[in-house]
A and B are shown apart, each in its own frame.
Chain A
């Protein structure tokens, strides 16, 4: 049996809603609040039930105009590259600092998306991030945590 993507997503949402509702019932409330007309559990319980009802409806009712997505046109390779680079960027940003990590992230992203014009890649990374940091940190006074630049004495 073949299940349509919309119904599959609805099935996943049903499982998520059941889990959400189960967790909602297990929220610890103060003993004097247990029988109150409204406590920390009430609203999540209503939402959990709403999620279950809606996902069941989406699974059971016929799809009027099913969405067709041609998977052969989806660029999985580029998106995986970009996500991996973003995750690495998120992981190192605190360690090596905003400036270096952001500039390297931009260069890597340009490269994996097929860009090879190195001058533009450079201009839109190191100098661009420096300008952006100057705008935020220098002009607008928005604090940018960068241990590396702090160590080098470039920012305070």
Chain B
């Protein structure tokens, strides 16, 4: 492991890669701050650029963007009560009241320190857990992988949108349908191309991400621009206050950070859960731990209430890399985007990544920690200046997002068809989002579609077409029972549980 860490450090500490972490953190922070644009969009916008780099550098840039975007989301949560990402919704509960009390600078500093601590602790967990887990994951066979993917898709559907399980599952099926367009990987038979040569290679992953996130996000902002409930709230950016944290506040943070980090990391490892669930759970857990007097402060600017979700969401970000790097199964929508990017580099993440490309495996882990340090050093002094980006008028912001989306596709294919296809998918996605059909399950299904078909093919061929492979191995059975439990719980909460 020490050798691996040294390899990782050697790669991550090269001048180019440090520069990439810095650029990534900075760009991610700015994108994450823009309302509605989260880590997924930020990473998606970076993909075309990363193809110009080697895989390690590209991944390091994306890891920086990921952390930057999560931190950026906290900034808009605290300053505007407009979370840039779902994972920072809980941050606004106490961060925004703090900002309203003229302590926005302090709130941003607490968020930055908590994010740093949460990220650091979970990076250590990742360092310890990932190699052991990758050894365990070598025992996974095709039926287990197939069952694991079913579990991951069911879990993300259950968690992505509260009370909308069936809608999310419908998005999973749509994602799988889109993934089957193009040549079959084994026989090269074309499917669903309708004799259009542009579809022979299938639909590009970047196109799907750009259309369903960046572009449809921009269209949604314009579409709902007249909605008074969604109008962006502006505050005076001169009222940031001091960014210094006093002794009493530091003690409060020191109590909150360890437990929220552990919780965040564990939640992050689970497929489909991710930063949003982690931050809400940490907020709830913290409320149960503090004194009765402190409990009254929750929702009114509590340090515990701000620190807990911020620590947990960053810890969950690191945690979500565990299933990606060790099993090749993304645990969240964002890591699904990263998986797509990795596949674009010709790298198949999974248990063998640890052996075949150790420099990538370790450099990503090490760059996460470096990303945390950079984020703290770079962003803390820049908070007042970064916050000014929130004043960019919508009239400029939306066209620029559309420009980045279309450029991303143009750079990849240099053909009009992909641009038109992206616009079409973005329009459909905009209407689907309007009626609460979540997009992360679609992305995860699109990314996993090919792998799922491959593992199902192997499983069925080994079992000679019999469905016995679903229960022959205990691991497969356990994973499928977990899936059934999630479906059962969702059915119960949707149709039988009375509203409280």
Cβ contact within 8 Å between B402 and A20: no
* Of B163-171, B240-248, B335-343, B348-356, the one touching chain A: B163-171
Cα A78 to Cα B396 with chains together (Å): 14
Cα A79 to Cα B416 with chains together (Å): 21
Residue B460 is within 8 A (CB to CB) of chain A in the complex: yes
Residue A28 is within 8 A (CB to CB) of chain B in the complex: yes
Please report the total number of B residues contacting A with Cβ < 8 Å.
Answer: 66
Residue B435 is within 8 A (CB to CB) of chain A in the complex: yes
- Scoring A residues 84 to 123 as 1 if CB is less than 8 Å from chain B, else 0, what string do you get? 0011011101100010001001100110011100001000
Please tell me which one of the listed residues B176, B225, B419, B464 contacts residue A78 in the complex, with CB atoms under 8 A apart. B225
Query: Given A9-B437, A73-B226, does the pair A109, B52 have CB atoms closer than 8 Å?
Result: no
Least CB distance, A120 to chain B, in whole angstroms: 7
Which residues does chain B contribute within 8 Å of A33, judged by CB atoms?
187
Cβ contact within 8 Å between B52 and A94: no
Which residues does chain B contribute within 8 Å of A29, judged by CB atoms?
187, 189
Query: Given A67-B435, A106-B403, does the pair A90, B222 have CB atoms closer than 8 Å?
Result: no
Cα A73 to Cα B227 with chains together (Å): 5
Please tell me which one of the listed residues B51, B163, B187, B191 contacts residue A44 in the complex, with CB atoms under 8 A apart. B191
Residue A58 is within 8 A (CB to CB) of chain B in the complex: yes
Which residues does chain B contribute within 8 Å of A10, judged by CB atoms?
170
**Binding site secondary structure of chain B:** helix
The A-B contact count (CB < 8 A) is 175
Please tell me which one of the listed residues B51, B187, B226, B434 contacts residue A40 in the complex, with CB atoms under 8 A apart. B187
Residue A131 is within 8 A (CB to CB) of chain B in the complex: no
Cβ contact within 8 Å between A57 and B219: no
- Scoring A residues 29 to 71 as 1 if CB is less than 8 Å from chain B, else 0, what string do you get? 1100100011110111001101100110110010011010110
Residue B192 is within 8 A (CB to CB) of chain A in the complex: yes
Least CB distance, B432 to chain A, in whole angstroms: 7
Cβ contact within 8 Å between B420 and A90: yes
Residue B448 is within 8 A (CB to CB) of chain A in the complex: no
Cβ contact within 8 Å between A86 and B406: yes
Query: Given A38-B456, A110-B396, does the pair A75, B224 have CB atoms closer than 8 Å?
Result: yes
- Scoring B residues 43 to 60 as 1 if CB is less than 8 Å from chain A, else 0, what string do you get? 000001101100000000
Which residues does chain A contribute within 8 Å of B463, judged by CB atoms?
37
Which residues does chain B contribute within 8 Å of A70, judged by CB atoms?
227
Cα A109 to Cα B218 with chains together (Å): 12
Cα A145 to Cα B406 with chains together (Å): 14
Among B177-202, those with CB < 8 Å from A are: 177, 180, 184, 186-187, 189, 191-192
Residue A82 is within 8 A (CB to CB) of chain B in the complex: yes
What is the chain A residue whose CB lies nearest that of B458? Answer: A38
Cα A5 to Cα B432 with chains together (Å): 10
Residue B394 is within 8 A (CB to CB) of chain A in the complex: yes
Residue A124 is within 8 A (CB to CB) of chain B in the complex: yes
Residue A149 is within 8 A (CB to CB) of chain B in the complex: no
Residue B400 is within 8 A (CB to CB) of chain A in the complex: yes
What is the chain A residue whose CB lies nearest that of B184? Answer: A40
Cα A81 to Cα B112 with chains together (Å): 40
Known: A37-B464, A51-B173, A74-B227. 18 other contacts (CB 8 A): A37-B460, A38-B460, A40-B189, A43-B453, A61-B495, A64-B163, A73-B227, A73-B228, A75-B226, A82-B222, A83-B427, A87-B420, A105-B402, A109-B398, A113-B399, A114-B395, A140-B52, A142-B49
A interface residue numbers (CB < 8 A to B): 5-6, 9-10, 13, 17, 20, 23-24, 27-30, 33, 37-40, 42-44, 47-48, 50-51, 54-55, 57-58, 61, 64-65, 67, 69-70, 73-76, 78-79, 82-83, 86-87, 89-91, 93-94, 98, 102, 105-106, 109-110, 113-115, 120, 124, 132, 136, 140-142, 144-145
Query: Please, could you name 25 A-B residue pairs with CB atoms under 8 Å apart, sorted by A?
Result: A37-B464, A38-B461, A42-B457, A43-B180, A43-B456, A47-B176, A48-B177, A50-B176, A69-B435, A75-B224, A75-B226, A78-B222, A82-B398, A83-B427, A86-B402, A87-B423, A90-B419, A91-B416, A98-B410, A109-B398, A110-B395, A110-B399, A113-B395, A132-B407, A140-B49
Report, nearest first, the 7 A-B pairs whose CB atoms are least far apart. A37-B465, A109-B399, A90-B419, A115-B395, A40-B184, A73-B227, A113-B395
